[in-house]
Each structure stands twice: as structure tokens, then as C-alpha cells.
Structure 1
Amino acid sequence: MNKLTSICVFCGSSEGNDIKVIDDAFLLGEKMAQQDIALVYGAAKIGIMGKVAEGAITHKGKVIGVIPDFLKLKEVVHLGLTELITTENMHQRKMKMQELSDGFITLPGGFGTLEELFEIITWSQLGLHQKPIGLLNINGFYDHLLQLLENMVRNGFLKMENYELLLVDDDIDHLLQKMREFKPAQVPKWLKSDRT
């Protein structure tokens, strides 16, 4: 069983238009706090990002925000964070979030959310980490993405064992359990983390 003391959550800086996404984002933060799992995320108080943080903060959870200098002017940094870490750029932000986390969960979002998800999966595929990667598929938000990934497998561009690095569920408790039970494949370390 994997000990999850901290989880990095990737999600949108917009709220979207599905109330269940908003509610589940808050609920994820709440459940993490109740289970003593620190939240690592992008530091904003807006959008789905803010909802996850509010869920954790409301239930006295530890919340670590990581943000690059240039976004501090554009995004509204949450003032209730346990800790705020500032980085020089986006890549350092992702590296720091990865270092601080025992696992990752992706909620609905846009381009930035997908970029974070795919980079962290790629790092796992390359053997840079062996941490569980969860996808909370609220109301089927990621159904079409999963179909695309399955098509990549069918067409020989994605190995099944790499597809299976992504743990998918529409229920928070079930997803957390899958992450605790995740057993990484024994893959060679192609790269060292300082080469990303």
C-alpha cells in the first residue's frame, strides 16, 4: 500500500459550468484534509483550483501552493495557504510540485491542466517517478480523452502498460484507494530528474 501524505492536484483556474465538478473539487479537498493528506496545487483562489483549496482549508488541512513569479500578477493567490512557494518558471513549478507529492490527481480543466497531466505521465513512463496518477472523471468529463488514449494503444503509439499508469474513477474514495494500491511496473530509469 502506498502512503499518501501529500497529493498534487491539477485542475482548472476556471470553474466551468458543471456544478458537480465544483462540488467534487471542494469534496476532494475536504476528504484529503480529513485523511491528513496535504494538498499541493497551483496556489490560486480562483476556479476549480480555489474550490479544492477551500475544501482542504475549511477542514484544517495542510495546503501548499506553488506558483511562478510571473503568474503572481495574473492569478489571484490564495491567502489561506499553509505555505506558498514561488518558482522562477513553469517547469520549476511542476518539478517542485512533483517533489512535494506522493501522488497526483487531475480534475477537469483546460490546456494547462492537460499539459500538467501528460507531463507527469510522461515522467512516469520514462521512470523519473513511480507515483500513482489519478484522473477523477467527473460526469464523464474525460471520456473522450480516454477514447483517444485507447485509440493510441490500438494504433501502436502507446503501450498498454503506459496507458495503465493512469488510474481512472468517477468516485473520490475509489480513486484514492486505487492510488494506495497502485504498484508501479519495474521499468529502467532512462533519465535522471535533473535532465527533464
Structure 2
Amino acid sequence: MRICVYCGSSSAAAPAYLEAARDLGQAIGRAGHALVFGGFDQGLMGAVAHGAHEAGGQVFGVVPASVDYFKMRSAQVFPCDQEIEVADLAARKAMMEDLSDAFVALPGSFGTLDEYYNVLAQGKISTTGKPIVLLNVNGFYDSLALLHQRMVDDGFMGAVELASAPLAADSSEAIRYLEECVSGIHRL
């Protein structure tokens, strides 16, 4: 299975987040899965790639040629098994979705949330939705879970949509959930 990981690329992230990203990458590799990620070797993005690589997992990096904001383009591109260069961020997001069977969102910022909600929205309007799980490191997504419950309570979505947006406490739980979804044991 190819698992796409969305996450922050900031080098200012706290060590606990970097550890969780590396642990997730290692869990992906140890389970015999491949990692699809944003390609750069910085922040959580680099940590998850190093973890997957260290554990023997294949690593697919999708790098936008147009990115130069915050000098990110000058960041070292992780030495992937396969590096795929695309035109821009929109093309990167589409390519990462196409390449992947399942998704995990680690802590991050606007880009991470954009990617996460795009997968959820596609799953809502498609019969071929792919599973996604939030890895709730240090309670990072607790407030988001409250917002999701508020969406149900106020009638903006139902319990089925809420169930398609689970939180995992650790990498093992996240991988197990995705494996069950993809194998058909756990239905979204």
C-alpha cells in the first residue's frame, strides 16, 4: 500500500513532532508499505522520509518546480526511490492523491489542512474515497475534533462523515486503521 503523509515542513517544529514523524515513517517501512510525501528534507516532511527509508520502505517524493516561497525550493530534496517533479502545488496535491491508497495527516499548518480536507471532501462526493487519519501528536488535533463534532451537532454533516475523519493516538493505530480500510475490514 502507498501511504501519503501530509505534514509540516517547518524546521521550527518541536522535537516531539519530529520524533512522531520519524516513528510514522518507520512504521510505514516496517509494515512493508511505501511512503508518498512532498519531497523536501526539512521539518516533519524530512523526518517521515528518513524514518521510512531507514525501515526499508520505498519513498516517493513529489516536488513542485514552482515552489520558492520561504526559500523552500532551496531545501535539499530527500533522496527518494522515485522523485516526481510537477509544475506547482496544485499539481503536487493531485499527483500525491493519485499515487496513494491511503493518507495520514501529521501536525502542520495551512497546507497540511488543505490537503487533509481535500481528501475528506473527495471521499464525501466519491464512491471510491480513500481513507485518511489524523495522527494526534500531543493532542495537536483535539480542537479540530471538537470542531468536527460541532459540525455534526449543528447539522452541517452527519455521523458517517465524522467517522471518516478519525484520530489515531500513535503510528501503529494509524497504520492498522488504514490497512483495515484498504482491505475492506473497516468500512468508511
Q: 1:84 is matched by which residue type in structure 2?
A: E
Aligned to 2:48: 52
* C-alpha distance in 2 between matches for 1:141 and 1:69: 30
3-state DSSP of counterpart to 2:66 = helix
Q: Which moved more, 1:83-92 or 1:73-82?
A: 73-82
* C-alpha distance in 2 between matches for 1:79 and 1:106: 19
Aligned to 1:20: 16
Aligned runs of 1:112-191 on 2, under 5 Å? 112-127=111-126, 129-182=128-181, 183-185=186-188
3-state DSSP of counterpart to 1:149 = helix
TM-score using structure 2 length: 0.89
Deviation at 1:89, TM superposition (A): 2.3
Aligned to 1:74: 72
Q: Which moved more, 1:155-164 or 1:127-136?
A: 127-136
* C-alpha distance in 2 between matches for 1:40 and 1:10: 9
Aligned to 1:31: 27
Q: 1:123 is matched by which residue type in structure 2?
A: Q
Two-structure CA RMSD over aligned residues (Å): 1.7
Note closer, same or farther for the CA distance 1:156–1:16 as it changes in structure 2 (3 Å cut): farther
Note closer, same or farther for the CA distance 1:108–1:25 as it changes in structure 2 (3 Å cut): same
Given that 1:131 and 1:184 are in contact with CA atoms closer than 8 Å, whether structure 2 keeps it comes out as no
3-state DSSP of counterpart to 2:166 = strand
Deviation at 1:58, TM superposition (A): 1.9
Given that 2:135 and 2:169 are in contact with CA atoms closer than 8 Å, whether structure 1 keeps it comes out as yes
Unaligned runs of 5+ in 2: none
Given that 1:57 and 1:80 are in contact with CA atoms closer than 8 Å, whether structure 2 keeps it comes out as no
Aligned to 1:188: none
Given that 1:167 and 1:175 are in contact with CA atoms closer than 8 Å, whether structure 2 keeps it comes out as no
Deviation at 1:159, TM superposition (A): 1.8
* C-alpha distance in 1 between matches for 2:187 and 2:135: 19
Note closer, same or farther for the CA distance 1:22–1:74 as it changes in structure 2 (3 Å cut): closer
Given that 1:11 and 1:108 are in contact with CA atoms closer than 8 Å, whether structure 2 keeps it comes out as yes
TM-score using structure 1 length: 0.86
Identical pairs, percent = 34
Q: Deviations over 1:114-167 (max 9, x none)?
A: 011001110111116322111100110000011011111111112221111112
Equivalent pairs counted in the alignment come to 181
Aligned to 1:61: 57
Deviation at 1:97, TM superposition (A): 0.7
Deviation at 1:30, TM superposition (A): 0.9
Given that 1:130 and 1:184 are in contact with CA atoms closer than 8 Å, whether structure 2 keeps it comes out as no
Structure 1 segments (4+ residues) deviating >6 Å: none
3-state DSSP of counterpart to 1:70 = coil
Deviation at 1:39, TM superposition (A): 0.4
Q: 1:171 is matched by which residue type in structure 2?
A: D
* C-alpha distance in 2 between matches for 1:53 and 1:142: 22
